[in-house]
């Protein structure tokens, strides 16, 4: 927690109580050579420009003979727009309501039934299992055992989203990564491919097969969507639960509210605690009025999502106060910069929010639910975001 002196605020005390604030202040900074964007106005200019290209996370070094066979994350311009149009149907509001709601609800009930039989569990383990199931359904990774799939995906992410090592250590690291990805392919991806060839479904994997994606491209898609769709909800579910456990009035409003009000609460928590702290773009046009100067074309920019999300020009007065009515007051959807902006904004944002909403509503209905141990909070340098571990929840044990 990071309490700072309150400013004059007519509605709230405006004290900075963000749980990840101190860690973020010490760790969030742009890549070497990048300009640090700290205001929402400049952030949106860069992100919404048609001449803004994806950067960071290896995007600038990704090439492919056929742009149709590369993840939408690594594409720009018309190639990106075409690919996004074709794949967005798996993440659209209609897909969320018609298809994904059922998976979210049914599997949450399965997880909470298991939890009640044990009477205690780590919250991040439960949230990760849910995220794996939801993303697996969207992708089509449903033809291997659930527990094993979750374990294998966790191991791949732990070993691949890391800083590269040098020398012999680097060779060992690379071999480990290849081995884990190979196991993931043989145990999870390949069985799903074979099943979809026999009986296609309304999922991404069936689309990849129809479009004749090579195996390598399918694996990249699964890992890209897997990292975004599994890591982010895991952390945010724990963070949102932490806030609701602490604040009885907020929890009561969440439980009594309709879907719109629940989403407003979650988006306000996410505004204060965005899982990703910074994203990068390379802008191929001049940028005027950046800290009093005009910057040339070709500059690299690090967009500070956290600072943008507490910029009063974007979010209004009392930026550090948790106010679910804020978006309505400032006439915003409530996303602010939490999911990025522009053409590369997060395509699965509605999936993540509804997944969190459904899980938390059902979690707080469990008899005797308590947060027995608050999570440990640490920083993931490669993701540029927080991690929450060892949060223990307990409940009345079911015989």
Task: Work out the average pLDDT over 324-339.
Answer: 91
Q: What percent of the chain has pLDDT over 90?
A: 55
Flag whether pLDDT at 8 surpasses 60: no
The DSSP secondary-structure symbol of 396 reads: P
Flag whether pLDDT at 127 surpasses 90: yes
Contact 303, 276 (CB under 8 A): no
Flag whether pLDDT at 393 surpasses 80: yes
> In the prediction, which pLDDT does 67 show?
59
Flag whether pLDDT at 298 surpasses 80: yes
Strand partners, 389: 376
Long-range pairs, 9-12, Cβ under 8 A, ≥24: 9/317, 9/318, 9/321, 10/317, 10/318, 11/317, 11/318, 11/321, 11/323, 12/318, 12/321, 12/323
Flag whether pLDDT at 342 surpasses 70: yes
pLDDT, tens digit, for every residue of 208-236?
A: 899 888 898 888 888 888 777 888 899 99
Name which residue leads in pLDDT, 346 or 58.
346
Of 3, 38, 33, 31, nearest to 313 by C-alpha is 38
The mean-pLDDT minimum among 71-85, 97-111, 347-361, 375-389 falls in 71-85
Task: Work out the average pLDDT over 250-276.
Answer: 96
Of 245, 385, 256, 271, nearest to 336 by C-alpha is 271
> In the prediction, which pLDDT does 222 show?
87
> In the prediction, which pLDDT does 4 show?
46
Radius of gyration for the chain, computed over Cα atoms and rounded to the nearest angstrom: 21
pLDDT, tens digit, for every residue of 67-87?
A: 555 666 666 667 667 777 777
Q: What is the pTM of this model?
A: 0.90
> In the prediction, which pLDDT does 194 show?
95
Flag whether pLDDT at 198 surpasses 90: yes
Task: Work out the average pLDDT over 239-268.
Answer: 97
**CA end-to-end span of the chain:** 38
């Amino acid at each position: 927690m990071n309490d700072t002196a309150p400013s004059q605020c007519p509605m709230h005390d405006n004290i900075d109580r963000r749980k990840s604030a101190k860690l973020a202040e010490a760790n969030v900074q742009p890549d070497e050579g990048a300009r640090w964007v700290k205001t929402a106005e400049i952030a949106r200019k860069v992100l919404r420009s048609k001449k803004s290209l994806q950067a960071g996370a290896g995007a600038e070094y990704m090439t492919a003979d056929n742009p149709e066979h590369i993840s939408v994350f690594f594409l720009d311009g018309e190639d990106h727009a075409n690919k996004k149009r074709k794949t967005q149907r798996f993440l659209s509001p209609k897909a969320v309501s018609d298809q994904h709601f059922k998976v979210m609800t049914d599997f949450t009930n399965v997880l909470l039934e298991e939890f009640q039989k044990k009477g205690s569990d780590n919250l991040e383990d439960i949230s990760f299992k849910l995220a794996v199931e939801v993303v697996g359904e969207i992708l089509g990774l449903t033809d291997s055992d659930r527990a094993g799939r979750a374990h294998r995906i966790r191991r791949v992410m732990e070993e691949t989203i890391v800083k590269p090592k040098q020398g012999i250590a680097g060779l060992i690291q690379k071999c480990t990564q290849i081995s884990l990805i190979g196991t993931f392919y043989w145990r999870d991806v390949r069985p799903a491919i074979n099943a979809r060839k026999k009986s296609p479904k309304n999922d991404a994997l069936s689309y990849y097969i129809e479009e004749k994606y090579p195996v390598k491209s399918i694996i990249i898609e699964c890992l890209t969507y897997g990292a975004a769709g599994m890591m982010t909800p895991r952390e945010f579910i724990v963070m949102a639960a932490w806030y609701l456990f602490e604040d009885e009035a907020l929890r009561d409003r969440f439980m009594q509210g309709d879907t719109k009000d629940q989403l407003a609460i979650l988006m306000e928590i996410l505004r204060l605690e965005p899982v990703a702290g910074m994203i990068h773009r390379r802008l191929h046009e001049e940028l005027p009025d950046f800290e009093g100067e005009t910057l040339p074309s070709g500059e690299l920019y690090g967009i500070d999502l956290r600072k943008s999300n507490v910029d009063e020009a974007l979010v209004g007065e009392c930026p550090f106060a948790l106010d679910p009515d804020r978006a309505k007051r400032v006439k915003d959807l409530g996303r602010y910069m939490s999911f990025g902006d522009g053409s590369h904004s997060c395509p699965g944002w509605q999936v993540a929010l509804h997944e969190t909403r459904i899980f938390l509503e059902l979690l707080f209905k469990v008899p005797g639910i308590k947060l027995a141990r608050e999570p440990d909070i640490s920083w993931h340098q490669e993701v540029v975001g927080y991690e929450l571990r060892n949060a223990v929840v307990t409940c009345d044990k079911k015989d």
